[in-house]
Amino acid sequence: MEYVVEEKPDFLVKTARSMELPVLWGRLKRTHGFKKKVVRKATIRRLQLIKNMSLPQSVVKEKLDENRISYVLEHIYPFRSSFRIVDFALPRWKIFVEVDGHDHNSSSTIERDNSKDRGAHERGWKTFRIKNSDCLEFSKLFTEFLTKNGYRY
């Protein structure tokens, strides 16, 4: 079965069976023992998230591009026996950037976010969370975050 994403942006891969899936599966199988079904599910979910990027995420993407900061959009990382997807991964600094919408105020979402942050921390990554309403101030807030955490920008 082939999963085609229609009306894709030019940076989006065509299908879940493209180059991305075999490479990702091979890496996750070697390092974490994931089954192909789990990786396929993660890849399809990632493609859906990229296709349906929110306006605040688009603003953050634009700000990262303006500042020439390399990133991975909708990055998949292993978490226990499953996976998590973060909005942006900045490999240079080992930072995940999460854009939190209005739905991030419920107790279940807060617990899921805390779990995601702990998983990132266990892997040596920090998480930078920004609310939708603060996305236009991303450059300033992110620079403050880098300075506060001892990163060089």
Tens digit of pLDDT for each residue in 37-96?
666 777 777 778 888 888 899 899 999 999 899 888 888 777 766 777 888 989 889 999
Phi-psi bin for 150: left (phi > 0), alpha (psi -120 to 50), beta?
left
Q: What are the tokens at 32?
A: 């974490």
Burial classification of residue 120, based on how many CB atoms lie within 10 Å of its CB (0-12 exposed, 13-18 middle, 19 or more buried) = buried
- DSSP annotation of 128 reads E
- State how far the Cα of 36 lies from the Cα of 103, in Å rounded to an integer: 31
CA 44 to chain centre: 14
Tens digit of pLDDT for each residue in 90-147?
988 999 999 988 776 777 788 888 888 888 888 888 999 999 888 889 989 998 998 8
Q: What are the tokens at 102?
A: 């209005």
What are the chain's domains?
Answer: 9-52 (no CATH), 53-148 (3.40.960.10)
One-letter amino acid at 138 equals F
Res. 17: pLDDT tops 90: no
Torsion sign (Cα): 57, 22, 41, 126:
negative
- State how far the Cα of 61 lies from the Cα of 51, in Å rounded to an integer: 14
